Amino acid sequence: MSELNPSPTPTGGTPPRSSGRVVSRLGESAKITAILAIMFFAIWFVKNKLQAQDVTVEKLKLAISNIPWYHFAIAISLTILNYLVLTGYDWIAVRHLKKKLPMSKIMAGAVVGYACGNVFGWLLGGNAVRYRLYSSWGFSLLEIIAFVSILSITFWLGLFLLAGIAFIVLPIRLPEKTLEMLQLSPTTWGYIFLSCVVGYLLSCLIVRKPIRFRDFEVALPPFKLSLMQLCVSAGDFFLASTVLFSLMPPDIIGPGQDQINFSTVLIAYITAQIGAVISHVPGGYGILEGVLLGFLPHAVSAEVFAAVILFRIVYYFLPVIVAGLIFLYNEHRIGKRPPDMLHGQ
């Protein structure tokens, strides 16, 4: 970036900073500060919520001990299946960009990208490691930006589809305060979400020419590929919610008013994901816990919080260990390549 002040720099002095660069840095600092403020507020809210419900360490230990061992086995198995489904996100993006990449690398990119994104957030983890991986596999900066954009669209499609179906069809039991915060009825929200999905599918079916925004051009995926986007993303949210649901003690699951059913957990998880993405809070720390404690019955707050702790271990931290090993292996392979092959396949 060229300097705004072209005057020569005195010997031994420091070059003048560009005002644009300073504004950019201030903007980034403000963004990070806002994100951290939201995260700490969410954690503070969860802490107060747990204190109000008299949730103690002893109650958390008891709740964890009440979970049968096979629930952990189910959760781990579903997590492995979920990460295989997550590969579909990257496969769709690679296919849409008409790039050639071995399936092993697509799976590696998906596991590393999503595991790091879940734990460290997309701004600090997911996008950074994904850029490192895909740039080493021959993707340009613009292709990676387009790649991440396709992933984002796929993410929101499945979220809207499942939320729409859940609000319209499934039996969801939410506290009265939560229902008041929605402003509109759950059924109305369901139709809004499904209308967005239908609108996107119709656009993919009808609009075949690239859409231009000034100097930026976007081409919608073919209709069949957009249907795959729906299936992959919906499968992702369904499996992740099932992992969380399976880590709850059996005695709090059921049709009773003070018990928890799967559809309510599904909506709570989807809402938490929306909050985490919009706020950019790394890993959704405090967001996931706060939403679940607000959406689910207060009588089982200890069991719900224990389930979230186990969910973070099984679904977030165990996969990120595997992702770290994959990333280090890729870095090792990059280090062994000749300089003229660093951007090759």
pLDDT 10s digits, 33-67: 777 788 788 888 888 888 887 788 888 888 888 88
Residue 126 has pLDDT above 50, yes or no: yes
Residue 99 has pLDDT above 70, yes or no: yes
Burial of 121 by CB count in 10 Å (0-12 exposed, 13-18 middle, 19+ buried)? buried
> Of the given ranges (29-38, 114-123, 172-181, 256-265), which has the lowest mean pLDDT?
172-181
E-only strand ranges, the chain: 211-213, 216-218
> Of the given ranges (74-78, 281-285, 306-310), which has the lowest mean pLDDT?
281-285
> Of the given ranges (97-111, 123-137, 253-267, 331-345), which has the lowest mean pLDDT?
331-345
**Distance spanning both ends of the chain, measured CA to CA:** 32
Q: How confident is the model at residue 117 (pLDDT cuts 50, 70, 90)?
A: confident
pLDDT at site 33: 77
Q: Would you give the DSSP letter of residue 102?
A: -
User: What is d(CA 319, CA 239) in angstroms, rounded to the nearest whole number?
Assistant: 15
Which of 81, 341, 51, 100 is closest to 232 using CA atoms? Answer: 81
Cα angle, residue 171 at apex, residues 230 and 167 outer, rounded to 5°? 45
DSSP codes joined into one string, 159-212: HHHHHHHHHHTS-----HHHHHHT-S-HHHHHHHHHHHHHHHHHHHHH--SPEE
- DSSP helix/strand/coil, 236: helix
Residue 200 has pLDDT above 80, yes or no: yes
Q: How confident is the model at residue 263 (pLDDT cuts 50, 70, 90)?
A: confident
DSSP codes joined into one string, 274-316: HHHHHHT-GGGTTHHHHHHHHHS-GGGHHHHHHHHHHHIIIII
pLDDT at site 139: 86
Domain positions in the chain are: 37-332
pLDDT 10s digits, 207-219: 767 666 666 566 7
Cβ-based neighbours of 86, under 8 Å, separated by 6 or more: 110, 111, 114, 232, 236
Q: How confident is the model at residue 18 (pLDDT cuts 50, 70, 90)?
A: low
Question: Which residue has better confidence, 197 or 222?
Answer: 197
